[in-house]
Chains A and B, each alone.
Chain A
Amino acid sequence: MHDFTPLSGLIGGALIGLAAAMLMLFTGRLAGVSGILGGALTSGSDRAWRLAFIAGLIVAAVVAPLFGAPSPARLASSNLVLLAVAGLLVGFGSRMGNGCTSGHGVCGFARISTRSIVATLVFMAVAAATVAILRHGFGG
């Protein structure tokens, strides 16, 4: 079980928010990762900034640990079939719902968008129910 780490949570969160704010201020684009990734797969003309943002996310995991940030998770003991199913659901669902934790959860709340607030409450409630079933069985 992990410890409660509100300070690093708040600092990391502030950096996430700062990155989203800067992306909008400088380029006019919304920092929603599923939208950026989905668009990189499908839209030809608007692809460069999307691929650059994705490259930044990956490079962060290489560079930041050198300066004391946590290393990316290795997921050593995970069940590959479960991860494949989860990945399919995350990819399909985030595109169908037009956003994920970043686009709806962070940017949508920051814009006070009803659509995003509803989406976030739905995926958080469903995810919490999924974890409850996974960890505690149907009986809770």
Chain B
Amino acid sequence: MARTVASFLCGLLFGIGLLISGMTEPSKVQGFLDIFGAWDATLAFVMGGAVAVAGAGFALARKRAAPVLGGNFAWPSRRDTDAPLIIGSAIFGIGWGLSGICPGPALVNLAALSAPIIVFVAAMLLGMFGFELWERRPAGRDVATGAAVAAPSDG
């Protein structure tokens, strides 16, 4: 129960950070990605701030044997740079560029319950389901994702 409450509060803080940073504004995200236009560098500051604070927190976590609320640390264990990582990231990049929306801001913006964000989130969930089906297909699994089946996610 305590873990669930802590997760909720972390999600809340994460969402507030996304709102304040400007990440929930698709046109601002696209402005950052628009390096050939009127480039808005704000998101570099968002990422810089986030990485610095998360890095310090992770360093503290590394010194502990277990999380404060018990259980284990689920650090991603993979080190290999494989084809699904590159291809998947490229596919994600196309969708992110087209819309200016990545999964965190999509969920935060869902609260507005506007038709466009409902369509986006529904399609995103469908895409995630689609990947599960594709990954579980009987033949050809070893070609691209064999190693990924049992591996923990990076995020």
Q: Measuring CB to CB, which residues of chain A are less than 8 angstroms from any residue of chain B?
A: 1-6, 8-35, 37-39, 41-42, 48-50, 52-65, 69-76, 78, 80, 82-116, 118-120, 122-132, 134-136, 140
Contacts and interface: CB of A to CB of B under 8 A. Distances in A.
Interface string B15-26: 111111111111
A2 B99 CA distance: 16
A129 B95 CA distance: 11
Q: Chain A binding site: helix, strand, loop or mixed by DSSP?
A: helix
Interface string B137-155: 0000000010010010111
Interface residues of B, number: 123
Contacts of A105: 47
A108 B155 contact: yes
Given A16-B17, A75-B109, A130-B93, 13 more contacts: A1-B40, A13-B21, A16-B21, A20-B57, A21-B54, A55-B8, A59-B111, A74-B116, A82-B98, A91-B123, A95-B88, A100-B103, A104-B155
Contacts of A110: 50-51, 54-55, 57-58
